[in-house]
Amino acid sequence: MSTQISEYRFRLSLGDEVIPFKSATGLDMVSETIDYKDGMGGPYQMPGKKVPPTIALRQGIFRGQAGFYDWMSSGAAVKRDTAIYLIGTSEDNVYMTWNLVDAFSTCLSAPGLDAQSEEATIDELCLTASSITVTPSQ
């Protein structure tokens, strides 16, 4: 049974390589909250520092992307700017882009492999980034 690429709506871009995934979580922009008291003892809150996002990409496929494999297996925390795209049924239809700054991998897990498939698969890829920005489609 062949996998339909249209099922893979998220694309991780690593330089010239693009890796499709079925799902993505953790694409959140979160700030800590700082509690203060004014001169009269009244409480109020202010936004604090940004919390680095931890992104989990699940059920991905890749074929022959040596740069991705080198990045994952380097043994060092090599940080890269990258992007995750949410696409429609057409490859040219991008709904949303999440830009990750200084992203690095924190885990890579593989599911059971099927000898009849020509695709290498990823069960889960976790990334942590310094910051994230979101760009909606035009």
Structure tokens at 48: 């604090």
Domain 5-30+46-136 class in CATH: mainly beta
d(CA 87, CA 11): 8
For 15-30, write each residue's pLDDT tens digit: 888 889 999 999 988 9
Buried b (16+ CB within 10 A) or exposed e, 73-87: eeeeeeebebbbbbb
**Mean pLDDT score of the chain, rounded to an integer?**
83
Q: What is the pTM of this model?
A: 0.80
